């Protein structure tokens, strides 16, 4: 683990030690694990709180901000979480719908009993682009990344207006930031083709970019700080996955924590993507799909 900072963050009277951050490409299923942790009394898990979202997307869209500011970037992120993790009626009132949907909203309008909190966590989308800053801000953090078949992830993105909003004219900053991890654009040809590329191609680039970041993170992070979970295993064998997560965190999570939580569909891409979209996704991300053990379709043109 990295050197523990001299500054210890205290929230609700509790020292923030070994916070847990859930990572993954859009629609990878990291929110399922967030719900499991949220249902565990010892954890206070947030998602998409405004201050954190602004900070995370600033770093994701312009990685140079984090690298140029050094420890200043870590301070900014730590301060964002210091506010986000406060358990007050006013603070919890800022929670977006996805955070509230994680469960455990009390009659007083708060989402946790501050007296029982032992660990803090966050599952804000696109944290994968801020892992260096996260580990600078919280050197003892534990990261859980969820990997899912990229074709299923793309199928989910194609029905998510918030994901698609990034592809609108004026949002892509490829002329200012290149290579661009957030959009998954790494070479000149991809940047040139971006304006006329199909939406499925753009979604596939984002998934591929996230997977490449995940691979680098795996290579650079000690085992005690990073756990990788397959979405398909999470859905098929939730008890076993929850047990592995409990062992990793050193904190018991109820094996029933995932009961009643429905998956977004393993293999949904076979029904929801058109033949053309399947070919596009596998052409862009076929290497990563194969490396992760996902079998390409017969129509794939990547072989």
Q: If you ran DSSP here, which 8-state letter would residue 70 be given?
A: T
CA distances from 287 to 125, 134, 266, 291 (A): 24, 29, 20, 6
> Number of structural domains, the chain?
1
**pLDDT of 244-291, one tens digit each?**
999 999 988 877 777 666 656 899 999 999 999 999 999 999 999 999
CA distances from 131 to 2, 84, 106, 208, 216 (A): 13, 18, 31, 17, 11
DSSP class per residue in 136-168 = HH-TT-EEEEEE--HHHHHHHHTT-HHHHHTTS
Read off the pLDDT band of 100 (50, 70, 90): low
Q: What is the pLDDT of residue 114?
A: 64
C-alpha span between 254 and 42 (Å, rounded): 11
Task: Spell 228-243 as b/e; 16+ CB within 10 A means b.
Answer: ebbbbebbeebeebbe
Residue 287 lies in a domain: yes
**pLDDT of 108-165, one tens digit each?**
556 666 667 889 999 999 999 999 999 999 999 999 999 999 999 999 999 999 999 9
C-alpha span between 303 and 296 (Å, rounded): 9
Residues written for the chain: 303
Arithmetic mean of pLDDT, 30-58: 89
* Mean pLDDT, the chain, whole residue set: 87
Does the pTM surpass 0.75? The reply is yes
Residue 47 lies in a domain: yes
Residue 147 lies in a domain: yes
How many Cβ atoms sit within 10 Å of the Cβ of residue 175?
8
Name the token pair of 254.
């109820």
Residue 301 lies in a domain: no
Q: What is the pLDDT of residue 299?
A: 59
Within 13 Å, how many C-alpha atoms sit on residue 203's CB side?
29
Q: What is the pLDDT of residue 263?
A: 58
Q: Identify which has the larger pLDDT, 96 or 48.
A: 48
Read off the pLDDT band of 98 (50, 70, 90): low
Q: Identify which has the larger pLDDT, 11 or 204.
A: 204
Read off the pLDDT band of 26 (50, 70, 90): very high
List the domain range (segments joined by +) for residue 79. Answer: 10-291
Among 166, 158, 179, 124, CA closest to 272: 158
Residue 245 lies in a domain: yes
C-alpha span between 127 and 149 (Å, rounded): 19
Q: What is the pLDDT of residue 302?
A: 43
**pLDDT of 69-81, one tens digit each?**
667 899 999 999 9
C-alpha span between 154 and 278 (Å, rounded): 10
Residue 181 lies in a domain: yes
Angle, to 10 degrees, between the axis of helix 199-220 and the axis of helix 275-291?
10
| Cis geometry, peptide bond prior to residue 302 (ω within 30 degrees of 0) | no
Q: What is the pLDDT of residue 279?
A: 96
Q: What is the pLDDT of residue 188?
A: 95
Q: The CATH number of the domain where 56 resides is what?
A: 3.40.50.300
């Amino acid at each position: 683990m990295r050197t523990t900072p001299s500054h210890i963050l205290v929230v609700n009277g509790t020292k923030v030690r070994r916070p847990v951050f859930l990572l993954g490409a859009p629609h990878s299923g990291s929110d399922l694990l967030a719900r499991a942790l949220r249902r565990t009394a010892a954890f206070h898990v947030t998602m998409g709180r405004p201050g954190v979202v602004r900070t995370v997307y600033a770093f994701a869209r312009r990685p140079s901000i984090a690298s140029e500011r050094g420890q200043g970037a870590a301070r900014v992120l730590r301060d964002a979480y210091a506010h986000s993790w406060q358990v007050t009626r006013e603070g919890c009132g800022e929670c977006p719908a996805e955070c509230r949907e994680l469960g455990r909203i009390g009659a007083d309008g708060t989402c946790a009993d501050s007296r029982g909190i032992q660990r803090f966590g966050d599952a804000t989308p696109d944290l994968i682009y801020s892992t260096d800053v996260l580990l600078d801000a919280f050197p003892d953090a534990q990261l859980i990344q969820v990997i899912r078949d990229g074709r299923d992830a793309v199928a989910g993105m194609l029905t998510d207006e918030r994901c698609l909003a990034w592809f609108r004219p004026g949002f892509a900053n490829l002329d200012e930031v290149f290579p661009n991890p957030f959009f998954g654009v790494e070479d000149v040809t991809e940047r040139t083709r971006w304006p006329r590329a199909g939406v499925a191609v753009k979604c596939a680039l984002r998934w591929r970019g996230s997977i490449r970041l995940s691979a680098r993170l795996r290579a650079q992070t000690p085992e005690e700080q990073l756990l990788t979970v397959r979405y398909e295993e999470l859905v098929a064998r939730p008890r076993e996955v929850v047990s592995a997560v409990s062992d990793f965190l050193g904190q018991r999570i109820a094996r029933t924590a995932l009961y009643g939580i429905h998956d977004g569909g393993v293999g949904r891409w076979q029904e929801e993507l058109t033949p053309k979209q399947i070919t596009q996704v596998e052409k862009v991300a076929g290497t990563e799909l194969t490396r992760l053990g996902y079998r390409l379709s017969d129509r794939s043109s990547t072989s």
